[in-house]
Structure 1
Amino acid sequence: MAHHHHHDHNDLPDDGSLSKIKIAFFINLVFSAIELVGGLYTNSVAIISDALHDLGDSLSLGAAWYFQKLSMKGRDRKFSYGYRRFSVLGALINSIILIVGSTIILSEAIPRLINPQQPDAEGMIYFAIGGIAANGLAAWKLHGGSSINQKAVYLHLLEDVLGWVATLIAAITLYYFDFPRVDPILAMGIATFILYNVVKNLKEAVRIIMQGTPYKVDLKRIHDKLESLEGVKSTHDCHTWTMDGNYNILSIHLVVEPYKSLDDLSDIKQQAKDLLKEEHIDHATIEFETEEEDCEPC
């Protein structure tokens, strides 16, 4: 029986997502700069907070663009598992920037809540409409993508569109009613929302770096499925981790019946890998043992 080994390490082929992320990055970056100037001009901390949020999104898009391109290199001598883990580094950098920006916004918004200042409501309306258009265009460019990075960024940009809708409602309120506190209240709401999501992202990044078990992976089910294979008596010494939250790796020892031929073992391994694919495992290393062997677990 002939067995052919196929090792394809370029796991993220360019399906057009790279150019779409690039376009969305430039749209967001240009509008963030315009928005920051506009926020200072209109004296609106809500718009300034959204500008910093959009700047963080631009950095996320830039990182996604860079790492999408970098990940296409696959593995090499420097990084035997490829370059996927760099996306986690990008997430950490972006999270730190967003935390600093949100803290600055809160420090500006709280005093304005106590001593309110009247922002330029008409200017806020124009920028809110611009924000809906710019973020909506960037989100539209990323809609329907097959890349996981692309889908995640699309959802983030969609949240930004909803944030601008809220800013537009606040601006219209300011235009018709004398209620200047709505601006810092909105800014604090946006900053708090950002911080909440940043903390979630940081927890996930730390979990990945510490090589925690991926959320989608059920170890008990994996053991049960593998032990149901003909010729497999038991399983142990199972380790699983993720490179970037999406690409999951597993190593495991299978105790098999003695006197199995190489062809038999190859069939068992292929069946095991097919089962592991169903359990969100993208790369598996399987070691065979007999009951008589002494295993030294890692």
Structure 2
Amino acid sequence: MPTKGKSFVPIIRERSNAEIRQSKKASIMSKTSTQQEQKLLAISIAVTVLTAIAGVVFGLMIQSRTVIFDAFYTLIDSVMTLVALGVSRLIARGDDRLFQYGYWHLEPLVALVNGLVLVTACVYAVLEGLNGILSGGRVVDFGPGAIFTGIGGVICLTMAAFIHIRSTNIQSELLRIDARAWLLGGVISLGVCISFITCNLLVEAEYAYLAPYVDPFVLMLLAGSLLPLPLQTVWRATREILLIAPPELDRTAREAARIVSERHGFAAFESHVMKAGRVNFIEIGLVAPSGEMTRSFAELDEIRQEIADELGGAVPGHWLTVDFTADKRWI
């Protein structure tokens, strides 16, 4: 280990990392918020399974591929929510000897799988709708279908609002994805309801020959319009998995390091950031001026606290490491 002046620098760095990691790990997520997250996910799973089963049965009864797709979409969501619940419980366990940074990295993996599955479902629905149109459409009992999908849409939107409101103080990607899935399900159901009502009006207006094409057309239209949303989830999760630094977090960390570095006369600074699920990993290195004498640990802790304050305080969701050295190559 290189030294300049006295050999205190490597020791300071080692102690600083150990102390800050221990304090930040304890504050990343409170036990109460984790329990609330798991409770909301469990409620979501129960409601999702019930609505999915009802949708499949009713869709088969009225022979509507659109209703079946709506139920299938909901069923996919229930499976992914179940996976998310398992991940949430792993995260609540904290770090161990195998995963020493915890299980936060599983969040973007779940988001990626969820997004890919929904993308596949949407693409399949578009192709199914196109095939229905080319094959002459299908006759559907639109009256009961409008009632059922309307009720389903209200349930989905209510669940989306419920989860969003109850999870406002929880920085959970899992709940954010689940709330978005409920919102998408609600939009699909209400869209199908409107299309069924429109079809009834067409029949009454002597345009009955268009009725068989309504179901596949709406299926294709809705699935195609929803496709960009899971694609955004895939893109965001892929960025986290590839450890691409979030621009806003990077700017915030560099600005905090610059302010504190200039305030205390450090010769240089460097920052590194990454995001894994709901946790922001931030590492800041400060280079002491040439020939500077030893600073006390109390002074270094004060500097570290100033950096935390510049980042918004020691809030849950930040894993902060601050390095002090006299040799720039160590940062």
Q: Normalization by structure 2: what TM-score?
A: 0.78
| Shift in CA distance, 25/216, structure 1 to aligned 2, threshold 3 Å | farther
Residue from 287, 294, 299 that aligns with 1:255: 287
Report Cα offsets for 1:186-237 as digits up to 9, x if no partner.
211222233211211111111111101124313343443333332433212x
Aligned residue identity for 1:13: K
**Of Structure 1 and Structure 2, which has the larger fraction of its residues in helix?**
2
Alpha-carbon distance in structure 1 between the residues aligned to 2:68 and 2:263: 59
| Shift in CA distance, 279/18, structure 1 to aligned 2, threshold 3 Å | closer
Q: Which residue in the other structure is 1:229 paired with? A: 263
Post-superposition shift, 1:75?
0.8
CA RMSD of aligned residues (A): 2.6
Aligned residue identity for 2:274: W
Aligned residue identity for 1:288: F
Alignment of 1:35-74 (within 5 A): 35-74=55-94
Q: Which residue in the other structure is 1:285 paired with? A: 321
Alignment of 1:239-254 (within 5 A): 239-244=272-277, 246-254=278-286
Instruction: Answer yes or no: is 1:11 the counterpart of 2:29.
Output: yes
| Shift in CA distance, 205/12, structure 1 to aligned 2, threshold 3 Å | farther
Q: Which residue in the other structure is 2:97 paired with? A: 77
Post-superposition shift, 1:272?
1.5
Contact map agreement 2:128 2:220 (CA 8 A) in 1: no
| Shift in CA distance, 62/110, structure 1 to aligned 2, threshold 3 Å | same
Alpha-carbon distance in structure 1 between the residues aligned to 2:214 and 2:247: 39
| Shift in CA distance, 119/148, structure 1 to aligned 2, threshold 3 Å | farther
| Shift in CA distance, 113/228, structure 1 to aligned 2, threshold 3 Å | farther
Q: Which residue in the other structure is 2:7 paired with? A: none
- What SS class does the counterpart of residue 228 from structure 1 fall into? helix
Instruction: Answer yes or no: is 1:197 the counterpart of 2:229.
Output: yes
Alignment of 1:180-191 (within 5 A): 180=211, 181-191=213-223
Report Cα offsets for 1:239-261 as digits up to 9, x if no partner.
211111x3110122101241142
Unaligned runs of 5+ residues in structure 2 are: 1-15, 203-207
Aligned residue identity for 2:26: D
- What SS class does the counterpart of residue 61 from structure 2 fall into? helix
- What SS class does the counterpart of residue 124 from structure 1 fall into? helix
| Shift in CA distance, 76/267, structure 1 to aligned 2, threshold 3 Å | same
| Shift in CA distance, 12/53, structure 1 to aligned 2, threshold 3 Å | farther
- What SS class does the counterpart of residue 8 from structure 1 fall into? helix
Report Cα offsets for 1:50-86 as digits up to 9, x if no partner.
2222123223322332222221111111111111111
Contact map agreement 2:288 2:325 (CA 8 A) in 1: yes
Give the count of matched residue pairs. Answer: 291
| Shift in CA distance, 221/261, structure 1 to aligned 2, threshold 3 Å | closer
Alpha-carbon distance in structure 2 between the residues aligned to 1:113 and 1:131: 25
Alpha-carbon distance in structure 2 between the residues aligned to 1:242 and 1:10: 13
Alpha-carbon distance in structure 1 between the residues aligned to 2:71 and 2:185: 10
Alpha-carbon distance in structure 1 between the residues aligned to 2:162 and 2:181: 13
Q: Indicate the structure (1 or 2) with the bigger Cα radius of gyration.
A: 2
Alignment of 1:44-193 (within 5 A): 44-114=64-134, 115-145=136-166, 146-149=169-172, 150-177=175-202, 178=208, 179-180=210-211, 181-193=213-225
Contact map agreement 2:126 2:221 (CA 8 A) in 1: no
Q: Which has the higher contact order (CA 8 A, sep 6+)?
A: 2
Aligned residue identity for 1:14: T
Unaligned runs of 5+ residues in structure 1 are: none
Q: Which residue in the other structure is 1:264 paired with? A: 299
